Amino acid sequence: MNLIKKYYSPTNSQLGVGGGGKSVSVLSPATVANVVCGFDILGFALSNPNDEVTISISDEVGVQIINQDDFNLPTDPEKNVSGAALLAMLEECPDVKGFTLISKKHIKPGSGIGSSAASAAGPVVAANYLLGNRFSKEDLVRFAMFGEKVASGVKHADNIAPAIYGGVTLIRSIFPLDIIAIDAPELYVTVVHPQIEVRTADARMILKQNVLLKNAIKQWGNIAGLVAGLIKHDYDLIGRSLEDVIIEPVRSILIPGFNEVKSRCKEAGALGGGISGSGPSIFMLSKDEETAKSVEKEMISIYERIGLDYQTHLTTINQEGVRLL
C-alpha cells in the first residue's frame, strides 16, 4: 500500500474547517483478546473503559492528528495506530482528500486491554459513518489491522474484530478475513491492570515458535470447548475450557502475582480467566455481578499486599462495539 505522506498537526482553532465542518464522535471500547486458549483468534469487547474519538472530513491531504491526552503518541499518521488505519481507508476513497482526528484516550497503551485496537477501530467506524457507511464491518477490520501492524508488527484482528462487531468474535482466518460472531451468554468481566507495561511486540518475541503435539491437541480441545460453551451458554464447559498450555505459561512470568490472582479468583467463584491480550492486565469471567465484585476484592487484596499500583474494571461484555456519541 502506498501510504500518503503529507501530514500536519492542526491547532484547536483549525478543527472542523475542512469537509464543511461535518464531524462524528464515537466511543471505542477496550477489548480482551486471546480469551486464554484462543491465541490470536478469540476476543470480546468490554463495556468500559472506552476511548473518545472525533473524526471530520478534511480539505487537507492525508490524516491530521490531535491528541487530547497525556500519552504523547505520534502525530505522524504512518507511525500512529489511528493514522495508519485511516490512511488505509483513504487508499479506497478517491473522492476524499483526508481526515482530521481528535483522540482522547482512556485506555492506557500497553495495558493489555486493546488500547491499540480501540485507537484503530474507533476512527474507521466514525469515518465510515461520515462516508455514508460505504464499507462493511469486514472492510473496517481490514483497515484497522494496518493500525495493529504499527503497534505490534503483526496484522492481528482478535482485538479489532470485537471492537467493531461487538460481543465475542472468532477469527477463523486472517487471509482472507473470516470473522464469526459468537452468541455468548451475558457475562461479567473483572479486570485488574497492574501498573507495569508489557509491550505486545516484546510479549510476542518470547513465545516459542514450536509446540509439542500433545500440547497442541490439548489446546485445540480447549478452544473448541470454549466456543461450544459460549454458543450453548454452558457455564461449566466455559470454565473447564479456560485453560492455556502454550502461551500463558510463558507470558505469565512477566506479570507479578498472576498465579495467585488466578487461583484466588477462581476460589471466589469466577468461571476462569487469564492474561488479557499480551498483558499485564488479567481478566476473570463471572456469571453474576456479586461474584464479579468478590473477584475484584481478591485482585485488590493481592496487589495491595504486593505493593504494586493497579487499576480495576468491573464491567460486562459490550455487545455493540464502537458506538456513536
- Cross-strand pairs, 189: 285, 315
Contact present, 104 and 325 (Cβ < 8 Å) = no
- Higher pLDDT residue, 156 or 312? 312
pLDDT band at 1 (very low <50, low <70, confident <90, very high): very low
**Closest of 256, 91, 273, 118 to residue 191, by C-alpha:** 273
- Report the pLDDT value the prediction gives residue 207, as an integer from 0 to 100: 83
- Report the pLDDT value the prediction gives residue 154, as an integer from 0 to 100: 84
- Report the pLDDT value the prediction gives residue 97, as an integer from 0 to 100: 96
Domain around 296: 188-316
Segment 213-229 shows an average pLDDT of 97
- Report the pLDDT value the prediction gives residue 157, as an integer from 0 to 100: 95
- Higher pLDDT residue, 66 or 11? 66
Instruction: Calculate what percentage of the chain has a pLDDT beyond 90.
Output: 86
Decide: helix, strand or coil at residue 301.
Answer: helix
The average confidence (pLDDT) of the chain is 92
Which range among 80-84, 202-206, 265-269, 275-279 shows the weakest confidence by mean pLDDT? 202-206
- Does residue 140 sit in the same domain as residue 78? yes
4, part of any domain: no
158, part of any domain: yes
Query: Is the sign of the CA dihedral 206, 273, 106, 302 positive or negative?
Result: negative
- Report the pLDDT value the prediction gives residue 238, as an integer from 0 to 100: 98
Contacts of 68-76 spanning 24+ positions with Cβ under 8 A: 68/102, 68/103, 68/104, 69/103, 69/104, 69/105, 69/106, 71/105, 71/108, 71/109, 73/103, 73/105, 73/109, 73/119, 75/7, 75/9, 76/7
- Report the pLDDT value the prediction gives residue 204, as an integer from 0 to 100: 76
Query: Is the sign of the CA dihedral 198, 204, 205, 209 positive or negative?
Result: positive
Instruction: Say whether the peptide bond before residue 194 is cis (omega within 30 degrees of 0).
Output: no
99-154, pLDDT tens digit by residue? Answer: 999 999 999 998 999 999 999 999 999 999 999 999 999 999 999 999 999 988 88
Q: Which residues have a Cβ under 8 Å from the Cβ of 211 and sit 6 or more positions away? A: 219, 246
DSSP, residue by residue, 22-88? -EEEEEEEEEEESTTT-TTTEEEEEEEEEEEEEEEEESSSEEEEEE-SSS----STTTSHHHHHHHH
Structurally, how many domains does the chain consist of? 2
Q: Which of 151, 182, 213 is the last residue of a domain?
A: 182
Instruction: Calculate what percentage of the chain has a pLDDT beyond 70.
Output: 94
pLDDT band at 203 (very low <50, low <70, confident <90, very high): confident
Decide: helix, strand or coil at residue 3.
Answer: coil
On the question of pLDDT at 240 being above 80, the answer is yes
- Does residue 173 sit in the same domain as residue 221? no
CATH number for the domain spanning 215: value is: 3.30.70.890
Q: Which residues carry out catalysis?
A: 148, 200
Classify residue 184 by its DSSP letter: P
Give the H/E segment covering residue 249.
Answer: helix 248-251
pLDDT band at 202 (very low <50, low <70, confident <90, very high): confident
- Cross-strand pairs, 100: 56, 64
- Report the pLDDT value the prediction gives residue 277, as an integer from 0 to 100: 93
- Does residue 158 sit in the same domain as residue 203? no
Interatomic CA distance for residues 85 and 123, integer angstroms: 8
DSSP, residue by residue, 146-170? HHHHHHHSS---TTHHHHHH-SEEE
CATH number for the domain spanning 23: value is: 3.30.230.10
Q: Which residues have a Cβ under 8 Å from the Cβ of 1 and sit 6 or more positions away? A: 87, 88, 91, 146
Q: Which of 117, 149, 182 is the last residue of a domain?
A: 182
Query: Is the sign of the CA dihedral 169, 170, 171, 177 positive or negative?
Result: negative
Decide: helix, strand or coil at residue 142.
Answer: helix
- Report the pLDDT value the prediction gives residue 7, as an integer from 0 to 100: 29
Q: Which of 182, 207, 231 is the last residue of a domain?
A: 182
**Closest of 213, 249, 181, 193 to residue 37, by C-alpha:** 249
Give the H/E segment covering residue 311.
Answer: strand 310-316
Interatomic CA distance for residues 239 and 222, integer angstroms: 10
171-198, pLDDT tens digit by residue? Answer: 999 999 999 999 999 999 999 999 997 7
- Does residue 114 sit in the same domain as residue 172? yes
- Report the pLDDT value the prediction gives residue 133, as an integer from 0 to 100: 96
Segment 208-216 shows an average pLDDT of 93
- Does residue 132 sit in the same domain as residue 198? no
